[in-house]
Amino acid sequence: MPKTKTIKAANQPDSRPTLMNRYLLPVSAVMLLLVLGGLWFYLNRPAPVVTPVLESKAVATAPVVRHMPPAQMVDEQQCLGCHSAQANDWQGSHHQLAMQGADQQTVLADFNNATFKGEGENTRFFRKGDEFWVNTPGPEGKAGDFKVAYTFGIAPLQQYLIEVGDGRLQALGVAWDTEKNRWFHLYPGQGVDFKNPLHWSKPSQNANFMCVECHTTGYKRNFDAATNRFNSQWNSLGVGCQACHGPASSHLLAVTDNTKLPHSGFVVDLKNKDATSEIETCARCHARRAPLGDGFTVGKRLMDDYLPSVLSRELYALDGKIKDEVFEHGSFAQSKMFDKGVRCSNCHNPHSTQLKAPGNGVCLQCHNSAGKAAVTGIDGKGLQAKDYDSIEHHRHTEGQPGSQCVDCHMPGKLYMGNDFRHDHSFSIPNPVRAKTLGTPDACLTCHQGKTGDKVTEQFKLWTSHQGPQAARYDESLWLIRSGQPGAAQALYEQLRRSNLPAIQRATLLAELANYPSESAMKLASKDLNNPAPQVRESAVRAVSTFLPAAERITLLGPLLNDSVRAIRIIAARNLLGAARNGLGAHQGAWDAAIGEYETVQLGLAERAESNLNLAMLYQASGRNTEVEPKLRAALLRDPEFFPALVTLIQWLEASGRSAEAMSLLNDTIKTHPQTALLQHSQGLALIRAGQPKHAMTALQQAVKLEPDNAQYRYVLAVALHQSGQVEPACAQMEELLKRQPAFRDARLALIQFYLDSGQEPKAQAVLQAWKKINPEDVALK
């Protein structure tokens, strides 16, 4: 997929079930709030072109000040006359050529009856007159002819969007390498046939929803839930002027009609001294984030329209370096550059998308022998007067690898097969620390094996003069996630820092659930008032893990009126359980905020996840007649979205339709026997049906299929214990703690298991170990 941005709901890395009765509806499904990957699309549908009226005006004429209606999209050809320099930069850029109609000028690949074989499928590329076509296995595995409608990108690869009917555009999984002039598969070795979720025909590869927003200007998906069709539209192909500056009709009026308007008629001022506006404008597409509805509103904060990911273990290394395909914003937001006011355009020409200076020149704007930043708006305190472009600093031969700033401070990874992307956290290499923490390191990437050992020893000599330093974020996070002695204290100390980057603070707040205490509660409560929206959002989730719904009202109630939509709706969602009994003075605000949450999900109706979220909302709100239709709508959108299937099965069972529920589950398992969630769900269903012996087989199969899934192994251990199989139960819980030592609930359960079986010394050993990890734990009081 072209730069698809998928995120998972916060506090998901370790599912933490505690009791069997949690499973009336799956916890994992409840937490699917806003789980909608990489999901890009804009609110503004193409508007009528506004043609400027050019008039001669007397020089002395005073500007007219008037109230303006909301600006509309215009034909961007009108921008070229006044902004020729920017237009020249933009011509031929990755932004301009992000998406084009497929024709002889735009298609770079070999469509002369070329054949690609890979992942068990044959794909043939050919032409019909001036059209470009693909013969490849479709949704049912049968080969068919599909027309190429659009190209995506120009280098280092070009992808192709396929028309499949109902207005749907799907991104083909075979792409063209523009550097080696060859076809290649984006997911080699992953067995991506027509049954795989990554197959080009599946919902995860739907370009209308997943991709096109960030390759066009003024995009609207126009999905019709009633007919299950798209009628997607855009103002122009490619990332044009208005994609960043916003609709330009008011600007045209301001410059042609002598009308005085703030920011020359644009809603957002990208040159504002505060870099936030510019950075968040770029982050709409250059961040791993989930949408909060149908598009964005120009001038609003990023989290009014999107929910950016935290630094979860699936997406980032412990030290914050890029791991999964996360784009630039998340790593940049951790950096000292971000903290000092550096913005994207200080280094990149936003129109050409090229660096503003060759080689090390971009970095030398600030890091130079004068010790002064040549760029305005940057806090230069702390800059050293030093020759960074020298062997004395980088310790590598000039012109060789290692002599460029990016080699050491912006190491990167290949994505999509051949697209090398640099990390933007601007880290400092430290092979000693990297070996301890198991994190990537620029030195060790180049110098491996025995050579790496020599480099590590040399690094120790170079840094031997440095004294003890305060505990670092990455070192603390290693303690926290690996459940080491002192983990809780390390977590609390990091959260007490005043200079902790907001994205790191939000990440650590998500770890608090495993380390509950009065200190944890105070820290989470304090951050409900943090100026950074991402921190407030994460604090809401943290507080909600500590308190029952009714006890959250005092703390979360005020956030129902937060200025940022993401915080309002997550606060409302976490007060849903208390709302049934009334929220007092906060009731009106909650009604509005939960309405916003529902609107968000309705605006994403083409996604199975959103239909499931709506079903969960309606079930919790007592709107029972609306639950089943939304669950079935979810399965219509994606028949293999099994969280919705499992929830439907449990809903049928709770509605007295147990036979129908079990039949549906058994039929699905027959066609998908290797799906762990289905096996796990069958085990739970059999337990509820009073058949614990039969349940064990299914629960064990789920663990076998996904041995690192904490939820599955925890439930198996609890089920074994409840059936009197104490030793196997203890063994499963012990194995779980080996794999996930920070899993608090597993430790507490294991202590109880040992006590129940008369193994008090073992219980004491686990208890004492936990006291070293979190001596303030409320369970120890």
How do the domains of the chain map onto residue ranges? Answer: 99-205
CA-to-CA separations, 353 to 158, 211, 343, 376, in angstroms, rounded:
17, 19, 14, 20
Q: Distance (Å, rounded) from C-alpha 388 to C-alpha 369?
A: 7
* SS3 sequence of 343-386: CHHHHECCCCCCECCCCCHHHHCCCCCCCCCCCCCCCCCCCCCC
Beta bridge partners of 157: 177
Q: Distance (Å, rounded) from C-alpha 308 to C-alpha 300?
A: 15
Query: Distance from first CA to last CA of the chain, Å, rounded?
Result: 51
pLDDT in tens, 630-652: 999 999 999 999 999 999 999 99
Q: 252 with 660: CB under 8 angstroms? A: no
Q: Distance (Å, rounded) from C-alpha 630 to C-alpha 649?
A: 13
Q: Would you mind telling me the total number of residues written for the chain in this entry? A: 781
DSSP element (H, E) containing 534: helix 533-546
Q: 427 with 472: CB under 8 angstroms? A: no
Q: What is the model's pLDDT at position 64? A: 52
Q: Which two tokens stand for residue 607?
A: 């996604």
Q: What is the model's pLDDT at position 66? A: 57
Q: 416 with 158: CB under 8 angstroms? A: no
Beta bridge partners of 100: 151
Residue 8: how many CB atoms within 10 A of its CB? Answer: 19
DSSP state of 44: P
Q: Which two tokens stand for residue 314?
A: 């699936």
Q: What is the model's pLDDT at position 507? A: 99
Pairing type for strands 169-171 and 174-177 reads: unpaired
DSSP state of 157: E
Q: Which two tokens stand for residue 553?
A: 């009202």
- Relative orientation angle of helices 627-637 and 608-621, to the nearest 10 degrees: 170
Give which of 426, 674, 607, 728 is closest to 37, Cα–Cα.
607
Residues 6+ apart with CB under 8 A from 262: 269
Pairing type for strands 174-177 and 412-415 reads: unpaired
Q: 222 with 232: CB under 8 angstroms? A: yes
Residue 527 exposure: Cα atoms within 13 Å on the Cβ side: 34
Q: What is the model's pLDDT at position 67? A: 62
CA-to-CA separations, 548 to 551, 585, 746, in angstroms, rounded:
5, 19, 21
Q: Which residues of the chain have pLDDT under 70?
A: 1-68
Residue with tokens 């290693």: 478
Give which of 220, 219, 224 is closest to 236, Cα–Cα.
219
CA-to-CA separations, 227 to 163, 165, 305, 606, in angstroms, rounded:
17, 12, 26, 11
* SS3 sequence of 591-656: HHHHHHHHHHHHCCCCCHHHHHHHHHHHHHHCCHHHHHHHHHHHHHHCCCCHHHHHHHHHHHHHCC
Residue 502 exposure: Cα atoms within 13 Å on the Cβ side: 20
